[in-house]
Amino acid sequence: MIALEYLLLIGLIVCAVAANFTRNLLPTILIYATFGTMLSVIWLLLKAPDLAITEAAVGVGIDTILFLLAIRSMRHFVGTGDEK
Amino acid sequence: MDINAILQMLHANRFEAASVILFVVGLGGMLFNRSLFKKVVSMGFMDSAIFLFLTSAGYVEGRLAPIIADPAVTATMEVYSHPLPAGLVLTGIVVSVSFTAFGLALTQRLYKKYHSLNIDEIMMQAQKSED
Amino acid sequence: MRLFYENYPFFCVFISLLCGILTTLIHDGKKARALTLAMLAVCAVLNGVVCFSTAARGVSFTYSMGAFPAPWGNELRSGPVEALLATVFCLVMGFSLLGGEADLKEDILPEKQNLYYIMMDLLAASLFALCFTNDMFTGYVFIEINTIAACSIVMAKDSGQTIVATIRYLMMSLVGSGVFLFGVSMLYTITGHLLMPSLFPAVTRLFRTGAYQYPLAVLAGMMCVGLAVKSALFPFHTWLPTAHGSATTASSAVLSGVVLKGYIILLIKVMCRVFTPEEIGSLGVGSVLLVLGACAMIYGSIWAVREPHAKRMIAYSSVAQVGYIYLGLGLCTTAGMAAAIFQIIAHAFTKPLLFVSTGGLIDASGHQKKLYYLRGAGRRCPMAGVGFTVGGLSMVGLPLLAGFVTKLVLGRAALAEGIPSWQMILSLTAIAISSLLNAWYYLPAILQIWKGGEAPAGPGGEAYVHGPYEACLSFRIAVVCMSVVVVLLGCFAQPLMELITRGVALL
Amino acid sequence: MKTPVWYQKLLRWTEGDSPVLPEPAAHREQTREPAAEESAYESGPGLLSASAGRVRNVLLRVITIASCAVFLLIMLATVAYLPRFGDADNAPENETSRRYIEQGMQEVGATNLVTNIILVYRGFDTYGESCVLFLGATAVIMLLAVDAKNTTEEDRRVLARSDALDRENRNQILGHITTILMPVILLYGLYILCNGHLSPGGGFAGGSILGGALILCENGYGVGKVHSFFGHRIYHVVKVGALILYAVLICYTIYVGANGLPNVIPLGKPGSILSAGIILPINVAVGLEVACTMYAFYTYFGRGDL
């Protein structure tokens, strides 16, 4: 159990660091969604099923949709939508 | 405390320790990343870190989730973990979504106007158009 | 059975929330505006009643939000000081909306005007909640409402500059509220409470036993830093000048007049009702606040001297004035708190007066924002000129005006028994230097707007010909009222100071 | 006689110019050559020249990492001094938790204790949170709703073209899958929404799922499908109606509770679906509001309109 906890926690940190160093925006969003999924499992481990459901619906679902929409709208224009 | 005791405590408080690291990573990303989009993403990480810290305060070893299985049996405190932090975090998650949406909306407008996500460049162009 | 007036704080919060929600259905900006002003008037009256009743009885009361009292449910708490501040906030918001009317019509598209007033209504609600809250987490939630509403009223003007300012403001605000919430979570971890009446004995016990000293110091620092970021204390003020300087006039006035103060009130509550001022002092947080406040007073003034844009100059002056408040808080004494609260009230009237008058002056000079081009604007729009003069002289510290009393009470608090001598010297020096610097930039500005002769040529070399400028009625009302209040605060400060001092003891 | 220097300085001071400090950079632009101004802006990402900018960037990065590391060490040390994770006798084990767990179900009526806390014990907080969501939606509308300032003819043309493209190349598979998935998602959302007092979930989670269903409908059946039954008017009425219903219920509870009046809303038998007094209607109201808000986020981000 502790091994799973460590795996998830280290996964969270790796995701958060990696999101800062991606070159394109789409991987950032995927990393964000992964982060949310892992967090949702952690809520289950911490005996908070309400949070797990809400995180899965809001943090993974709605947030990801918003991010995707935002980069889609950015691609209508000149420039790549990539960083810098 | 010597270093061993500290490491032991960090192992015991692994959720708190991880949340602190996440918090600092998120904070650093928000303050120092130049891309507006990544600032908004980092904001999400930072909020999640706080929620992780708060939720871990409510966990008690070996207790059940705070949902009463059988209403006929009187509940005792020794069976369920603390429900208050989960309630607070539920509030916090929804607050954090509205801020993500707001931040992204601002980013989208700025990108439309200045065709860039780099905050320095955007500020420079805004300054230029003002003068 | 509780007294009926004890319901008024709760009524105020929900009246303003409901007004905001209903305004969604009103698509006419004028009606939305009338509703907002009426709401502010009603809330001012209700809060005024609470203030007088509690002051007359010399009590403060707790109002449980629901059937469950302190450690279980949400609570509000009000005494004379909280109600007084809430009343001041209503009045200032009302005057700012009146005074900024002309600019509002110009800067915001007609179909989005009602959205602006939604933001104003919810801003008022969050300020009331911050004044009255007795619960750390309620404080956090309403800080977030405040943040989102404040950011929205900055961006309402919808120019590139304001949106850039908004996103910087948003990021800094979120950092601030995140750090604050982390502090609250730590406090919950080591005490198990979120409501101030239960936190206070728990924290006192921890201080007595000496347990968790290190986490306590860190979390006190985090809460203070979080709120300091949001109220633009010196090293964290970078977002303020652009946000306040570029927004529409009413927004600038509301932001620097009341929004910054909401967070400071929560900080005062944390200092008095969770910790005691002495405990904050013994953790070393007080000294840090004092030093940062003193730095802000000087640094803000220096940047104001260098700033050619009239509105941004006033925004930098806000940085300095917030420094005065933190100087008072950092002394960690009752007198210091009282001085800080007086400064909150004085600045809440003076700064909106300055912003509103500057808005009038800029309108009278063909929308030129630089001080250089405002030459003679006071003659074209005498009402705005008078307002600017009164506000500026009050900032400089001319006797019989509000700013002078602030400096006086702050100085007296710094000279009291028991203050370490380095703190005393630092405070007095900072007050003196800051007053000098204030004179340095406000006096030339005042001379400039009254100066005769022809108006200076514009940036492109073309000569501006200014016709006579007619200020609208609501602008005049706002400027006259705020000027009168600034003078009254300066002339009759004694009763107010007594009320505040008694109220601080009841916090 | 020549005027003394100090007098000239005083004159300049009254002009709004300050002689004491070094010539302020911002003042200089009144006399600055336009060409110099241009070059200052074109040099690299910073306001400085290219090499100075690079030095500044490196310096900034070093300062960033150093300050983050120091902060991290302080925080980790704090964590080491905090009470041990998961211990039964930590501080949250107090009378607050005891009452929430042992009397929550009898006093408030829901078997999900978290729901009891967020909707009744700390109902004011949660109402504030719904208002944050409302404000978020309003702020997004303020920024992204199509108006004269933020939209050009070109934008409108691009949008119309993509709509036309969308109508022509309607993806049949997506439509059919949507038809299959839709009832399942709606059922799941409604279940979570209405069972908030009995099982994990409640208004926020259920509402987001319903909002997700609306978004799927918009995507699967094509642009304008949702608009045909969920226009501006209905959107505003549902959103405001839900918030007002919530406000009325919560105000009633607060007023009655604070003034010691009898509460006439029955609590019902804990564990059954029609129980827990105000919690079920509040969950429905919150769910509607959240669903509206999520859908509004989606459409305003994508199209700038409902």
Rounded Cα distance, C381 and C455, in Å: 14
The SS3 call for residue C64 is strand
Q: Sort out which chain C residues have CB atoms less than 8 A from B30's CB and list them.
A: 171, 174-175
Nearest to C292 by CA among C427, C171, C170: C427
Which DSSP letter does residue D2 get? P
Chains that touch A (3 or more CB pairs under 8 A): B, D
Pairwise CB contact (< 8 Å): C148 & B98: yes
Q: What is the pLDDT of residue D54?
A: 79
Q: What is the pLDDT of residue C351?
A: 92
Rounded Cα distance, C184 and C135, in Å: 10
D87, closest residue in chain C (CA to CA): C189
- CA-to-CA separations, C137 to B49, B54, B87, B95, D109, in angstroms, rounded: 17, 12, 11, 13, 24
Rounded Cα distance, D234 and C455, in Å: 55
Q: What is the pLDDT of residue A34?
A: 92
Of C189, C193, C306, the CB nearest to D96: C193
Angle between helices D123-144 and B84-114 (to 10 degrees): 10
Which tokens hold the place of C86? 């809430």
Residues in chain A: 84
* Residue C30 φ then ψ, to 5°: -65, -45
Which tokens hold the place of C472? 């609208």
Please tell me which residue, C346 or D260, carries the higher pLDDT value.
C346
Chain D residues 270-289 within an 8 A CB cutoff of chain A = none
Cβ neighbours of residue D74 closer than 8 Å, sequence gap 6 or more: C218
Q: What is the pLDDT of residue C14?
A: 92
What pLDDT, in 10s, does the model give residues D23-70?
A: 434 433 333 333 333 333 333 333 445 567 778 878 877 887 888 889
- With the CA atoms of C232, C237, C238 and C243 taken in that order, what torsion angle do they form, in degrees rounded to the nearest 10? 40
Nearest to C370 by CA among C451, C468, C445: C445
- Judge whether D271 is closer than 8 Å to chain B, CB to CB: yes
- With the CA atoms of C12, C267, C337 and C82 taken in that order, what torsion angle do they form, in degrees rounded to the nearest 10? 10
Geometric angle at alpha carbon B39, from B33 and B43, rounded to 5°: 130
CB B45 within 8 A of CB A35: yes
CB D170 within 8 A of CB D224: no
Pairwise CB contact (< 8 Å): D85 & B56: yes
Q: What is the pLDDT of residue C493?
A: 87
In this structure, the number of other CB atoms found within 10 A of the CB of residue C1 comes to 6
Pairwise CB contact (< 8 Å): A52 & D297: no
Rounded Cα distance, B93 and D114, in Å: 14
Q: Sort out which chain D residues have CB atoms less than 8 A from A53's CB and list them.
A: 192, 200-201, 205
**pLDDT over 70 (residue D222):** yes
Nearest to C342 by CA among C505, C130, C500: C500
- The dihedral through the CA atoms of C406, C408, C413, C414 has a sign that is positive
CA A31 to chain centre: 5
| One-letter identity of residue C319 | V
Whether there are 3 or more C-beta pairs closer than 8 Å between A and C is: no
Rounded Cα distance, B69 and D199, in Å: 9
What pLDDT, in 10s, does the model give residues C272-307?
A: 889 888 888 888 888 899 999 999 999 999 998 888
B50, B56, B117: best mutation site toward chain A, by most A Cβ within 10 Å?
B117
Rounded Cα distance, B9 and D77, in Å: 10
Residue corresponding to tokens 């199209």: D303
Q: Sort out which chain D residues have CB atoms less than 8 A from A58's CB and list them.
A: 204-205, 208
CB C61 within 8 A of CB D276: no
Question: Mean pLDDT in runs of 10 for chain C (507 residues)?
Answer: 84 92 88 92 92 88 85 88 92 91 85 90 93 91 93 88 90 92 92 89 89 88 91 87 88 91 91 88 88 91 88 90 91 89 92 91 81 81 89 89 90 86 90 90 87 66 62 86 91 88 86
Rounded Cα distance, C240 and C238, in Å: 6
Q: What is the pLDDT of residue D31?
A: 36
Chain D residues 31-90 within an 8 A CB cutoff of chain B = 37, 41, 45-47, 60-61, 64, 68, 71-72, 75-82, 84-88, 90
Nearest to C478 by CA among C311, C356, C314: C356
- The dihedral through the CA atoms of C414, C419, C420, C423 has a sign that is negative
What pLDDT, in 10s, does the model give residues B62-101?
A: 888 888 877 777 777 788 888 889 999 999 998 999 999 9
The list of chain A residues with pLDDT below 70 reads 75-84
Rounded Cα distance, C23 and C156, in Å: 16
Nearest to C137 by CA among C283, C17, C274: C274
Question: Containing H/E element for A9?
Answer: helix A2-21
Nearest to D220 by CA among D271, D184, D181: D181
- Topology, domain B3-66+74-130: Helix Hairpins (1.10.287)
What pLDDT, in 10s, does the model give residues D150-185?
A: 777 887 888 888 778 877 777 788 888 888 999 999
Chain D residues 43-82 within an 8 A CB cutoff of chain C = 74-75, 77-78, 81-82
CB C400 within 8 A of CB C408: no
Rounded Cα distance, C8 and C66, in Å: 15
pLDDT band with cut points at 50, 70 and 90 for residue D17? low
CB C221 within 8 A of CB C186: no
| One-letter identity of residue C179 | V
